[in-house]
Structure formats: structure tokens, C-alpha cells
Amino acid sequence: MSLQKRTLLKVIVLGDSGVGKTSLMNQYVHMKFSQQYKATIGADFVTKELQIDERNVTLQIWDTAGQERFQSLGVAFYRGADCCVLVYDVNVIKSFDNLDNWHEEFLKQANPTDPKTFPFILLGNKIDLDGGNSRVVSETKAKDWCASKENIPYFETSAKEDINVDEAFHCIAKTALANE
Ligand code: GTP
Ligand code: MG
């Protein structure tokens, strides 16, 4: 029996309203998806326990509001974050164009010791939509953006069809742990 301590990792999920932040978390933690949209107000977290390289890890995943009028997060909220997950919708160009703002906002608020090495992850969500026919951001374009930001890992996901959700959060946990 190992009495090894659990490592708590704080993860913050940011991105435009409606891109699927809450849905991705619900799929990952509760294995549930709802077609209905209910805007997140303020911020709330869910936890998930997992093992990474034989270490017991608790992911504390903070869901935030994409809608500006529901954002009321102070600097204290961002402090102590171990990883920031940026989400956009591959079918909505604006959500991709806004990534720079979310990235900048996080760095401004969290003010990590070394902004260049702070772990971010990018998720391009809703790849299932219209069988991929309504897609407006290519994988190449997304990867180029990641390359321009110190090589952020990138995953294409569907919260609805449960595509790459586990894989993405596993990478998030691993990346956050490495930065611990
Ligand atoms: P805010 O809380 O306002 O910031 O939005 P959000 O980013 O949390 O988005 P949310 O998870 O609430 O999803 C918005 C809408 O998109 C909902 O109607 C979801 O059902 C839908 N949705 C989320 N993920 C997917 C997906 O992967 N595929 C499809 N087809 N729809 C999705
Ligand atoms: Mg939400």
C-alpha cells in the first residue's frame, strides 16, 4: 500500500462562449453530453483523479464563462494554476482569432514566473459538426498558431462524440505535472 500523497493540479479552461468548454469537462468527468446550451456563470470546478507515471494526481479543472458579462474572476483565481487549456470551435473563425486574447489575458492575470515555459494546451472542438463540412479552421492553421506560441500541444476534439477527450485531458495532466 502506498501512502504517497496526491498531487493537486489546478487547470484553468478558457475560450469564447459556446466553444464547448463545459461540454468537454462534462464528457471527461461524467461521460455525459447535453445538446442544450447553458451559459456558465462565473467559474466552477470539477475534480478527476488519475494516475500519471505512477503518481496519484487530482486534476482540479476550472470551467470559466466565455461571455464577458459573466466573467468576474479576480487575479487570485488564476494564481497557482498549473496548466491553462485554451478551447476554440473549429467551425467558428472568431473563436480561433480570439485565442491570442485569451492567451494574453491568462499570462497577464496568472503572471507565471516564466511565461515562455508555462504549460498551455489548445483544443479545437466540435470536429463532428456537419460531418466536418462546416469547418473553417484547418489543422495546419491551428498547429501553426501553436508553433508560434512555444509549441503548445494541440488536440482536435468532440465533446459530443467523445473524440480525443480522454487523450487531451491526459496530456493536460501530464503537462501540468511536468511543470509542478
Ligand atoms: P460558455 O459557458 O458560455 O463559455 O460556453 P461553453 O464553452 O461552456 O460551451 P458549452 O459547453 O456550453 O457548449 C455550447 C453548445 O455547443 C452546447 O449546445 C453544446 O451542446 C454544443 N457542443 C459542445 N461541444 C460540442 C461538440 O463537440 N460537438 C457538437 N456538435 N456540439 C457541441
Ligand atoms: Mg460553459
CA distance 22 to 42: 12
Atom of ligand 1 nearest to the CA of 38: 12
DSSP tag of 100: H
* H-run or E-run covering 97: helix 93-97
Q: What are phi and psi of 97, to 5 degrees?
A: -60, -25
Position 77 scores a pLDDT of 84
Quote the DSSP letter at residue 66.
Answer: S
Residue nearest to atom 1 of ligand 1 (CA): 17
Q: What residues have a C-beta under 5 A from ligand 2, the ion?
A: 21-22, 40
For 29-88, write each residue's pLDDT tens digit: 999 999 999 999 988 899 999 999 899 999 999 999 999 877 777 778 888 999 999 999
Q: What is the spatial order of strands in the sheet that 83-89 belongs to? A: 43-52, 55-64, 7-14, 83-89, 120-125, 154-156
pTM: 0.96
Q: Which three cell numbers stand for residue 177?
A: 505535472
pLDDT value of position 69: 78
Q: What is the mean pLDDT of residues 151-165?
A: 98
**Whats the size of the chain, residue-wise?**
180
Tens of pLDDT, residue by residue over 89-140, are 999 999 999 999 999 999 999 999 999 999 999 999 999 999 999 999 999 9
At which residue does the C-alpha cell 508560434 appear? 148
Per residue in 13-33, pLDDT (tens digit) is 999 999 999 999 999 999 999
Q: Separation of 147 CA from ligand 2 center, angstroms?
A: 27
- 126 CB under 6 A from ligand 1? yes
The reply to whether ipTM tops 0.95 is yes
Question: Which residue in 38, 138, 161, 147 sits closest to 90, CA to CA?
Answer: 138
Ligand at shortest distance from the CA of 26: 1
